[in-house]
Amino acid sequence: MVGKTEIILENGEIELDVDKDSIFKTKRSGTFNNDKLDEYYTSINKMRREMMDFQKKNKDAMMKAYQSQDTVAMNKLNKKYQELSKRMQDNAIDFVEKNPKAYISVLLITQMVSMQTKPITELKKYYDKLDADLKKTKEGKELAEMIKNNGMPAPMAPQSPEGKAAAQPGKQAAGFSAPNPDGKTVSLKESLGKVTIVDFWASWCGPCRKENPSVLALYNRYHSKGLNIIGVSLDDNKESWKKAIAADKLEWTHVSNLKKWDEPIAKLYRVESIPATFILDAKGNIVAENLRGSDLEAKIKALIEAK
């Protein structure tokens, strides 16, 4: 059996009934929060399997549609996926509303806020209805900060203007090395192309995930001509990081120290919010930052075509 299951550590006798054939069928019981955790997972297991089956079945079709920019096919596949996703979101909201004292409710609202599945003002209403003791937990306090910061975790302390200048256009990009998802150390130097995008993102960052299809399309158009991307994740959970890479079909180089806002590379580049991007030329000089959409493509195309 390969996989993992979750339990909530709290006072009491926690019981696990592990299914040797499917980790998703594991039953948790014995304490209030583990009973509630099991109740939630039981309610979504069928939907989760449907989403996994859909992703597996349509992986090649989605990649082909992105590569050929077949918007009809992409829209059709995305519509079906969004329908499955909305069912899970509605189920999570229903659970949160019915279980304001359950610890899993804090985690579910946090996920909704980070993915921006609904307006922050609406998600705040769910937070406001949580039990007071839940709001006092570490996760409850972090959720409050995320809501206060419009969906983003509390940023790092502001950096001095002198320090920030080291990561601005016209400067040589600072070198770095970090583990990839397989644990192998990868450096910026060995990842450079004719043009390189250093992309700071995270699996929990809704705006980052929404931007990924556009970045993927750009990569597919220009990678063979010299465009490389190295993604630097501000995740702190390796499985979540790897799942996001697979789900969004991000085929370029990825690294992370899994330290969230304490990510050394993010501090090196003075990154205070994500998504954040730095565009480098063939010599590793920063030529632009935080470009999006047509502006990003125009810059990449100009650098690729430059002699």
Q: What are the sequence ranges of the domains in the chain?
A: 15-148, 161-305
Q: Two tokens at 298?
A: 């125009």
As a whole number of angstroms, the distance between CA 183 and CA 194 comes to: 26
How many CB atoms sit inside 10 A of residue 90's CB? Answer: 11
pLDDT of res. 159: 45
pLDDT of res. 140: 93
- Across the beta sheet with 253-255, the strand order is 253-255, 227-233, 195-201, 276-280, 286-289
Question: Do residues 180 and 186 lie in contact, with contact meaning Cβ atoms separated by under 8 Å?
Answer: yes
Beta partners for residue 286, in sequence order: 280
pLDDT of res. 65: 66
pLDDT of res. 80: 79
pLDDT of res. 23: 58
Beta partners for residue 201, in sequence order: 233
As a whole number of angstroms, the distance between CA 107 and CA 281 comes to: 41
Characterize the bridge pairing of strands 276-280 and 195-201. Answer: antiparallel
- Which residues of the chain have a pLDDT value below 70? 1-5, 20-25, 62-63, 65-69, 74, 114-116, 150-170, 307
User: What does the mean pLDDT of the chain come to?
Assistant: 84
pLDDT of res. 125: 95
pLDDT of res. 2: 41
Question: Do residues 253 and 186 lie in contact, with contact meaning Cβ atoms separated by under 8 Å?
Answer: yes
CA dihedral 105, 110, 116, 121 (to 10 degrees): 70
What are 49-76's pLDDT values in tens digits? Answer: 887 788 778 777 766 765 566 777 767 8
pLDDT of res. 164: 45
Q: Two tokens at 205?
A: 């960052």
Where do we find the tokens 């579910």? Answer: 108
As a whole number of angstroms, the distance between CA 16 and CA 7 comes to: 9
What are 215-244's pLDDT values in tens digits? Answer: 999 999 999 999 999 999 999 999 999 999
Going by C-beta distance under 8 Å and a sequence separation of 6 or more, which residues neighbour residue 278? 167, 173, 197, 198, 269, 286, 288, 289
pLDDT of res. 149: 73
pLDDT of res. 151: 62
- Closest Cα to residue 302, out of 225, 240, 248, 234? 225
Architecture of domain 161-305: 3-Layer(aba) Sandwich (3.40)
